[in-house]
Amino acid sequence: MSDYYLLRTDTYLDHGVTECPPCRYDTGFLRGVEVRKQSLPPMHFQVDFQKDEAMPHFLDYTVPLASRSFLKVLKKIGIVNFQAFPAFVRNAETGQEWNDYYAFNVIGLLKCANLERSDYDILMGGG
């Protein structure tokens, strides 16, 4: 029996990342290239999630954040083309900290999909 995973972004989140590490574009995040650890500033993130609110396992931001659980699933299904750097995630207002999150970088991005074998919705038609 195979495991199946559904990845989706919750665009209706009430909270999120409010401050991200000051990484320059050429650092590599969001470009599909390997990031040199020595070129990174400290991976400190500020969030406004509340104590009673579960933080998502993946937050797509200037420097994406991924939970340890999310990274384990990726490795389990054979995805290895990524880097993960320990991140310090904190809500400055409440003092709550999350220590199981990582700055996440995908290496080797592709703009492709097998649309015949994919379930998808068209959000905005192109012209």
The structure tokens listed for 118 are 């994919």
Report yes or no on 82 lying in a domain.
Answer: yes
Report yes or no on 28 lying in a domain.
Answer: yes
Residue 50's domain comprises: 17-117
Tens digit of each residue's pLDDT, the chain (127 residues): 456 666 666 666 788 888 888 776 556 787 888 888 887 888 999 999 987 778 889 988 888 999 999 999 999 888 889 999 999 999 999 999 998 999 999 888 666 677 788 887 777 766 5
User: In this structure, what are the phi and psi dihedrals at residue 18, rounded to the nearest 5 degrees?
Assistant: -105, -20
Report yes or no on 39 lying in a domain.
Answer: yes
Report yes or no on 11 lying in a domain.
Answer: no
Apex 91 CA angle, 15 and 84, nearest 5: 85
What is the C-alpha to C-alpha distance for residues 56 and 105, in angstroms, rounded to an integer?
17
Structural domain tally of the chain? Answer: 1
Report yes or no on 126 lying in a domain.
Answer: no
Please tell me the pTM assigned to this model: 0.76
Q: How many other C-beta atoms lie within 10 A of the C-beta of residue 83?
A: 16
DSSP string, 47-90: E---TTSPPPSEE-SSS-EEEHHHHHHHHHTT---EEEEE-EEE
